[in-house]
Amino acid sequence: MKKSALLIVLFLNGILLFSQTKEEQTIKEIYKSSLTNSKCYSWLDYLSNSIGARLSGSANAEKAVQYTKSQLETLGFDRVYLQEMMVPKWVRGEKESAYILDNKSKINVPVCALGGSIATPKNGLTAEVIEVKSIKELETLGGKLKGKIVFYNRPMEPENIETFLSYRGCVDQRSSGAKEAAKYGAVATIVRSMNLRLDDFPHTGNQNYGDLPKSQYIPAAAISTNAAELLSKTLKNNPKLKFYLKQSCQQMDDVVSYNVVGELKGSEHPENIMVVGGHLDSWDLADGSHDDGAGVVQSMEVMNIFKNIGYKPKNTLRVVLFMNEENGGRGGKKYEELAQANKEKHIFALESDSGGFSPRGFSIESSDAVFDKILTWKPVFEPYLIHSFVKGHGGSDIEPLTSKSIIKAGLKPDSQRYFDYHHAANDKFGAINKRELELGAATMAAMLYLMDQNYSLFEPK
């Protein structure tokens, strides 16, 4: 009896060892393919340098749709198709202008309009400035804000190792600052750029007016971190200084745009859908190589890797390039709307939208039990320096997905330099390291492979 039990244990251990060895070997092939036979860097080169900035509703966004669709059609998908939707179209207009008027001196400052903002009067506006560190301070100041420019100057906290925590800790100044200041009669808002580094690049980003009537909208702009430091210092010496701002942006009527989808039917469970994606649109100050050209081409590269190593997923794989993440999120919403209409079952969604830097791990949205099972894969990733597995948000575009028991994950690259480039004019192709980009694509492919091979472990019993 003891001998039989021992043989069973040895047999099961042998199966486990064989399975682990097979998985390790396949993942080794995945990384080798990405580092030696990848297309993602050349795809990004074209997307960034031949097409450029891709704000939703723009001609370049449409070019990006057609280009990525044509490239997906070369990768062996069963079908490649577009998902139509209406997206906002916001146009920046002429280059913005701003300067500090301190007594008789005029100091130019780097500035850019925030996405969704209205224009200033044609000749610009000039007003005194009141500096605040939070939206909450507006309540205390009340009527003192009438006719003033509100200057939001709460910096990103440098002590956080995870820089997205610092971003989340101050981004409300950008997204809601104008809406809240307008309630107190302010004539405009300027915000310190969301950037840990002191430099001369203003960083744009979306802002919204919420339920304010259009008659109460006020212009909203961002200034560089160096300019914010200078303005704050100058205000201390001269609280009555004035600030000049001119911008000519405008919100146009919505236009038609598309998500781009490549679909490969699963060999065993075609009804189960795994999604990998990034967002195709970018802000308009640069070509958006990190945000989110990198995520787009890494998602495309997952299919290229599987093709190169001859791997056929058991579950259906979709590469989804979402439109309009930056100023509306309509691509993710449209994808989920169609998934609901078609009664689709999504089992896993993986997003890359944190830059093309060295991959460090994943942020995972799941139950505790599922998360604990995923943690057992950490040893498989360790040879590739992937070590950070945390519970957290998967991504904005996959957030709307509501399939029962779906597991969501976001690729976590090293974030220390990400906000140097985020939504700024220096987010260009030259800021991308080819090897880091390829390692990120391989890490995504490895996670999708493991999820595909082991999905039965996660199915509700």
> What is the set of active-site residues?
325
- Two tokens, residue 381: 């990733």
Please say whether the beta carbons of 67 and 47 come within 8 A. Answer: yes
Alpha carbons within 13 angstroms on the beta-carbon side of residue 262 total 25
| Whether the Cβ atoms of residue 68 and residue 296 lie closer than 8 Å to each other | yes
Alpha helices in 212-293 (DSSP H): 225-237
User: How many whole angstroms separate alpha carbon 423 and alpha carbon 201?
Assistant: 10
Backbone torsion region of residue 343, taken as left when φ is above 0, otherwise alpha when ψ lies between -120 and 50, otherwise beta: left
Query: Residue 429, Cβ neighbours under 10 Å: how many?
Result: 19
CA 202-208-211 angle, to 5 degrees, is 160
d(CA 404, CA 66): 33
| C-alpha 144: how far from chain center | 37
Task: Let me know: does 277 contact 418? Beta carbons within 8 Å.
Answer: no
C-beta neighbour count of 38 within 10 angstroms: 23
| DSSP character at residue 280 | -
Residue 48 carries which DSSP code? I
